[in-house]
Amino acid sequence: MQTLTGELARSALDAAPDALIIVDAAGTVRFANRQASALFGYTHEDLIGQPLEQLLPERFRARHVGDRQGFFAAPRVRLMGAGLTLFAQRRDGSEFPVEVSLSPVVADRTLVAAAIRDISERKRAEAELIAARESADESRKSADRANQAKSRFLATASHDLRQPLQTLALLNGALRRMVATPDAAEVLAQQEQAVGTMSRLLNTLLDISKLESGAVKPVPRDFRAASVLDTLRREFAPIAQARGLGFVVEPSQDSIYSDPAMVEQILKNLVSNAVKYTRQGRVTVRCRREGPSLRIEVADTGVGIAAAQLAYIYDEFYQVGVPANAARDGFGLGLSIVQRLVRLLDARLEASSEVGKGSLFALTLPAGRAAVQDFEPEPARPGPAAAGDGARILLVEDDASVRHATCMLLRVEGYRVTAAASLSEALQSLPAQLPQLLITDYHLADGELGTGIIAAVRERVRPDLEAVLLTGDTSPVVKELRGDAHLRILSKPVDAEQLLRLLRELLGG
């Protein structure tokens, strides 16, 4: 009976999934199951009677003797070397990581059973996971660096590409005030139209580039839908009226949680298209609350879009009903920008249309969640300008061609202009002539900013000195500057007439 019991016990231990070794207080192996022989590469006979330390790398053997003696002094069930990486050694000298569970066995004397598990695969997987995380972190950092580089490039390119157009626009404005013959006036009018077309295309392409590069990030907040709707009404009602169309913006008391500037840009593009493709009837903008969302619809009674064309309306340079090489009213880029902005905002845009009856575009956004503040719209364009009455203007512009063109325009208009290329030059000019108004570029040489120019000049002249900031930068940082009641921001390239009208308004003309 005892023999049978012993055989059953040995069979059970041999069937265990882990290597099992039993040692006495002297560290001698008294039992080893089949998995232990397979794991360490020894036969059963080679293991029995041998010191346990021969299964460890030599560098750990002396220390292990003390650890073993300490365990036998106070035996209990536990993991060996908790928190440490343990290693064992095969007969061929190869090392491998292990996990060891210790259990005291009380018979006629105290023995210890060690269950040993090879954790090489686990350690390999952990190492691969750590490497993958490090690689992902490095990839993220690399992507962040690439996006920052793209942002810097686009900011520089935006500024540098707009400068020549700014020069052309200002020189055109100056020349139109200097010529008297009808033929010359007609030439300059055509030139002005061409510069305007180039400016709009450049702005659109730069907008797309910024969206593609990730340089534009949404800054969501709660704001009133009415603030954007009012902006649409002011901008498009006169255009629709000139085309003989009705333009209806239904009032709304709802609020939106999104990026207000991006939402406004989406809706401006949608309304602009609606007005462009409507020959008669009207364009309607309305809001509908749908549970936790707000649905803003732009509907028109225009030419409509065939079902087969709806899939292509978001493609670059695609225009409904316009052959590839035909003259174009616009560039077919507005809806491409809209689609990118919608994705960036994680919003939803639906389009439906019927040829000859009109189209409907519906933008769905999260409804506002908290107390809201009105979004400050772009300042309305001032009324017609009059001649400048010799008012003193300080101009700070580091680009020589833009600086000279601006001076020429302002002097032809009758202003007294002091021009400077930097803050130091601007401050040097102040004792001789205190300006009534300051015009400055935003990005200047050597990292100087127009905001710094404005602050320094106001400190020397007066805190409420009217200032005009000219910039091609469309980042949120610039938009936040609109809280200054004595500051106006104009986006380059600035139309000469627009600039002069604004100066007359600020100077009380």
Q: What's the confidence (pLDDT) of residue 158?
A: 61
Q: Strands 95-106, 86-89: parallel, antiparallel or unpaired by DSSP?
A: antiparallel
Distances from the Cα of 215 to the Cα of 138, 241, 447, 473, angstroms: 20, 37, 20, 12
Provide the residue type at 50 as one letter.
Answer: Q
Q: What's the confidence (pLDDT) of residue 216?
A: 65
Kindly list the strands in the beta sheet with 358-366, ordered across the sheet, starting from the edge strand earlier in the chain. Answer: 246-249, 282-290, 293-300, 358-366, 348-354
Provide the residue type at 361 as one letter.
Answer: F
Better pLDDT: 385 or 99: 99
Main-chain phi, psi angles of 155, to 5 degrees: -65, -45
**% of residues, the chain, pLDDT over 90:** 26
What one-character DSSP code corresponds to residue 443?
B
Q: What's the confidence (pLDDT) of residue 458?
A: 93
Better pLDDT: 490 or 225: 225
All domains in the chain, ordered by first residue: 2-118 (3.30.450.20), 138-213 (1.10.287), 221-366 (3.30.565.10)
User: Tell me: the pLDDT tens digits for 104-127?
Assistant: 887 677 888 888 999 888 888 888
User: Taking Cα atoms as reference points, which of 401, 389, 453, 463 lies closest to residue 427?
Assistant: 453
User: Tell me: the pLDDT tens digits for 359-413?
Assistant: 999 999 999 875 554 444 444 333 333 455 688 999 999 888 888 888 888 888 8
User: Taking Cα atoms as reference points, which of 435, 494, 495 lies closest to residue 460?
Assistant: 435
User: Tell me: the pLDDT tens digits for 28-69?
Assistant: 998 899 899 999 999 988 899 999 999 999 999 888 888 888
Q: What's the confidence (pLDDT) of residue 508?
A: 77
- Calculate the CA 168 to chain-centre distance: 33
Q: What's the confidence (pLDDT) of residue 378?
A: 43
For the cut 50, the answer to whether the pLDDT of residue 326 exceeds it is: no
Task: Please state the three-class secondary structure of 296-357 as a single string.
Answer: EEEEECCCCCCCCCHHHCCCCCCCCCCCCCCCCCCCCCHHHHHHHHHHHCCCEEEEEEECCC
When the pLDDT of each residue in the chain is averaged and rounded to a whole number, the result is 80
Better pLDDT: 445 or 203: 445
Q: What's the confidence (pLDDT) of residue 459?
A: 92
Q: Are 111 and 22 in contact (CB under 8 A)?
A: yes
Which of 152-161, 277-286, 423-432 shows the lowest per-residue confidence on average (mean pLDDT)? 152-161
Structure tokens at 495: 């139309």
User: Tell me: the pLDDT tens digits for 216-227?
Assistant: 678 889 999 999
User: Tell me: the pLDDT tens digits for 233-291?
Assistant: 888 888 899 899 999 999 999 999 998 888 888 898 899 889 988 999 999 999 999 98
80-84, long-range: CB < 8 A, 24+ apart: 80/114
What one-character DSSP code corresponds to residue 378?
P
- Calculate the CA 463 to chain-centre distance: 35
Q: What confidence tier does 324 reach under pLDDT thresholds 50, 70, 90?
A: very low
Q: What's the confidence (pLDDT) of residue 489?
A: 86
The total number of residues written for the chain in this structure: 509
What residues contact 91, with CB distance under 8 A and at least 6 apart?
40, 41, 42, 46
Distances from the Cα of 343 to the Cα of 204, 338, 501, angstroms: 17, 9, 38
Distances from the Cα of 90 to the Cα of 79, 327, 339, 392, angstroms: 21, 82, 63, 92
Structure tokens at 166: 């700014």
Instruction: Spell 5-16 as b/e; 16+ CB within 10 A means b.
Output: eeeeeeeebeee
